[in-house]
C-alpha cells in the first residue's frame, strides 16, 4: 500500500515536472524603472557544496561593494510571508527563501507563490532541529533530506540545491554530506536580528548599520515574523536610498530529492493533495440530508458571499482555488510576544540555543498555554476567509464544532504555535 502510494506520488510529481516551466514563469515582468530592482542575477554551480556567507564560510566572495542578497528563513507563514512577497514585488526585487519542510507542507500554496514570483527556494531542514545537537548524523541526514523532499513536494517542482543550517551551526559530517549531494550552504554576512528585535525600524537600523560597516553582504531575515514583513518595505527603501543593489541568487542546476525520503514524508503529508489538486473540504464533502454542520454552512456562505451569481461555476472552479481561502489565520500573537526566529525542535528534541553564532539566548519551548489557542484555531477553521470575514460568517465560524476536520493550514498554524508560542 505504502509502495503504491509512493509510486503514485512519483508519477504525479513527474507529471508536474513537465509543467514546471509554466509554473515558474508566472511572475509579471518588472517594468517600473523607479524601483530598487535586481541589479544582477548570479548562477551558482553547487557542485561539491560550496559555502557562502562570511560569518562561517570565508570563501566565494562574489558580492561587489554595495551589493546585497536578501534571504528569508523558517517560512512559509501565513500573512507574514505573503506581506514579504508583496513588499519584494513592489520594489521588483528577488530573494532566496530557506523554507522548513513542515511549514512548506502546511502552507504549500504560499511557498508555491514564493516560487511563482520568481524567488529562489532553498531548504532549512524538516523541523528546524540543530544538526550539531543531534545524536547521530543519520538523524541530521533525515532532517536535511526530509526538508528537501517536503519543500520540493509543496512547491510542486524542483527547487534550488541551497541549504541553510538552523542556528547556522554545521558539522563536519553534514558538510561532507552536502558536498556529496552538491548542495550549496549559506551562512550570512548581515544578521538582521529580527528574531529578537521587536520594532521594524530597529530591524532596518540593524541591517543598515552593519551594511555601512561591511559594505555589502547576504542579509538574514525570517519571513515568519509580522515585524519582519513590516520591516521589509522600509529596508528596501533604505537600501535604495543608500545606493545598494540587490543580487539574485539562482542555481545552475535544480536540486534532486532522495526517493527514500520522498516516501518517508508521504506519511506526514497524508491527506495533503498534490500541487494543483487542492480543494477545500466544503467543495468535496456536502451534507445532503440531516443537519448541516456550522463549519460547512460558514464555508458555503463564504463562497456565496464571494460570487453569489456564479456559485455553481465557482464550485466547479474550486479545484484551482487557493486552499487557504477556506482556512483560518494562524493564531499569531503580537510581534512583541514572539520568541526568537529559531524555533525549538518539534519532535521532542533538545531546545536549540543558537548561542554560538547568533548570540541568541535560549529559545524556550513553547509549551503550556497553547491549548487554548489551539482550541480557538479549531473553531476558526470553520471557514472564515482571511482578512475581514463578514460578521455573519465569523459568528458561524465561532460556533463551529471542535470536531471539524483540520485543514493542512490549521495544522501548520498549530505547529508554528508550538514552536514560537502564541
CA distances from 228 to 45, 75, 107, 245, 337 (A): 30, 12, 19, 20, 14
Closest approach of Cβ 354 to Zn ion, in Å?
A: 8
Q: Which residue's CB is nearer to Zn ion, number 296 or number 352? A: 352
Q: At its nearest, how many Å lie between Zn ion and the CB of residue 198?
A: 18
Which of residues 91 and 353 has its CB atom nearest to Zn ion in the complex?
353
Least distance in Å: CB of 76 to Zn ion?
13
Alpha helices in 25-130 (DSSP H): 80-90, 101-106, 108-116
Cα 96 to chain centroid distance, Å, stands at 11
Q: How far is it, in rounded angstroms, from Cα 304 to Cα 310?
A: 8
Burial pattern 274-307, b for ≥16 Cβ within 10 A else e, equals bbeebebbbbeeeeeeeeebbbbbbbbbbbeeee
State the cell numbers at 370. Answer: 497553547
For Zn ion, the closer CB: 73 or 262? 73
What are the angstrom distances between the C-alpha of 383 and each of 78, 300, 301, 365?
A: 15, 8, 9, 30
CB of 261 to Zn ion, least distance (A): 20
Q: Which of residues 30 and 335 has its CB atom nearest to Zn ion in the complex?
A: 335
**Cell digits of residue 212:** 555601512
Cβ-based nearer residue to Zn ion, 53 or 383: 53
Which residue, 282 or 363, has its beta carbon nearer to Zn ion? Answer: 363
Question: Residue 332 or 378: which CB sits closer to Zn ion?
Answer: 332
216/358 with CB nearer Zn ion: 358
Shortest Å, Cβ 222 to Zn ion: 7
For residue 34, the minimal CB distance to Zn ion (Å) is 34
Least gap, CB of 296 to Zn ion (angstroms)? 38
Nearest of 107, 339, 365, 120 to residue 218 by alpha carbon:
120
**Minimum distance, C-beta of residue 164 to Zn ion, in the bound complex (Å):** 7
Question: Interface with Zn ion by CB under 5 A: which residues?
Answer: 73-74, 166
- Best CA proximity match to 155, nearest among 324, 13, 279: 13
What ranges in 40-126 are assigned the alpha helix state H?
80-90, 101-106, 108-116
Those residues whose C-beta lies under 8 Å from the C-beta of residue 102, and which sit 6 or more positions away, are: 126, 127, 150, 268, 346, 412, 415
Nearest to 222 by CA among 146, 143, 142, 128: 128
Identity of the residue, 352 or 379, whose beta carbon is nearer to Zn ion in the bound complex = 352
Question: Least CB distance from residue 128 to Zn ion, whole Å?
Answer: 6
Which residue lies nearest Zn ion, judged by its C-beta?
A: 73
**Alpha-carbon gap, residue 66 to 26, rounded angstroms:** 30
Q: Is the peptide bond before 76 cis (omega within 30 degrees of 0)?
A: yes
Nearer to Zn ion, 163 or 261 (CB): 163
Min dist CB 166 to Zn ion, Å, is 5
Amino acid at each position: 500500500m505504502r509502495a503504491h502510494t509512493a509510486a503514485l506520488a512519483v508519477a504525479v510529481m513527474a507529471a508536474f515536472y513537465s509543467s514546471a516551466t509554466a509554473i515558474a514563469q508566472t511572475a509579471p515582468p518588472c517594468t517600473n524603472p523607479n524601483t530598487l530592482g535586481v541589479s544582477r542575477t548570479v548562477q551558482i554551480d553547487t557542485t561539491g557544496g560550496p559555502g557562502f556567507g562570511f560569518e562561517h564560510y570565508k570563501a566565494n566572495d562574489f558580492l561587489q561593494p554595495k551589493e546585497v542578497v536578501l534571504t528569508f528563513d523558517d517560512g512559509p507563514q501565513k500573512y507574514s510571508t505573503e506581506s514579504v512577497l508583496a513588499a519584494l514585488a513592489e520594489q521588483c526585487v528577488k530573494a532566496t527563501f530557506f523554507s522548513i519542510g513542515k511549514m512548506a507542507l502546511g502552507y504549500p500554496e504560499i511557498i508555491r507563490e514564493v516560487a511563482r514570483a520568481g524567488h529562489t527556494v532553498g531548504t532549512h531542514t524538516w523541523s528546524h532541529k540543530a544538526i550539531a545537537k543531534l545524536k547521530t548524523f543519520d538523524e541530521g541526514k533525515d532532517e536535511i533530506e526530509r526538508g528537501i523532499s517536503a519543500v520540493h513536494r509543496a512547491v510542486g517542482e524542483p527547487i534550488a540545491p541551497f541549504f541553510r543550517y538552523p542556528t547556522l551551526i554545521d558539522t563536519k559530517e553534514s558538510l561532507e554530506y552536502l558536498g556529496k549531494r552538491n548542495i550549496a550552504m549559506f551562512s550570512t554576512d548581515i544578521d538582521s536580528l529580527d528574531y529578537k528585535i521587536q520594532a521594524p525600524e530597529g530591524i532596518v537600523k540593524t541591517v543598515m548599520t552593519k551594511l555601512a560597516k561591511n559594505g555589502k553582504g547576504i542579509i538574514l531575515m525570517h519571513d515568519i515574523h509580522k515585524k519582519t514583513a513590516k520591516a521589509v518595505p522600509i529596508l528596501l527603501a533604505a537600501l535604495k536610498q543608500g545606493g545598494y543593489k540587490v543580487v539574485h541568487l539562482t542555481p545552475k542546476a535544480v536540486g534532486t530529492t532522495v526517493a527514500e525520503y520522498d516516501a518517508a514524508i508521504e506519511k506526514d503529508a497524508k491527506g495533503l493533495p498534490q500541487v494543483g489538486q487542492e480543494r477545500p473540504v466544503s467543495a468535496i464533502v456536502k451534507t445532503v440530508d440531516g443537519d448541516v454542520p456550522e463549519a460547512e454552512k460558514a464555508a458555503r456562505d463564504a463562497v456565496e458571499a464571494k460570487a453569489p451569481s456564479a456559485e455553481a461555476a465557482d464550485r466547479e472552479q474550486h479545484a484551482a482555488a487557493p486552499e487557504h481561502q477556506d482556512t483560518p489565520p494562524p493564531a499569531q500573537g503580537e510581534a512583541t510576544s514572539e520568541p526568537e526566529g529559531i524555533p525549538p525542535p518539534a519532535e521532542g528534541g533538545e531546545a536549540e540555543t543558537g548561542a554560538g553564532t547568533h548570540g541568541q539566548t535560549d529559545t524556550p519551548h513553547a509549551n503550556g498555554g497553547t491549548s487554548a489557542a489551539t482550541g480557538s484555531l479549531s473553531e476558526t477553521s470553520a471557514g472564515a476567509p482571511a482578512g475581514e470575514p463578514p460578521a455573519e460568517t465569523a459568528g458561524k465560524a465561532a460556533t463551529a464544532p471542535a470536531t471539524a476536520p483540520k485543514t493542512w493550514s490549521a495544522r501548520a498554524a498549530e505547529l508554528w504555535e508550538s514552536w514560537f508560542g502564541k
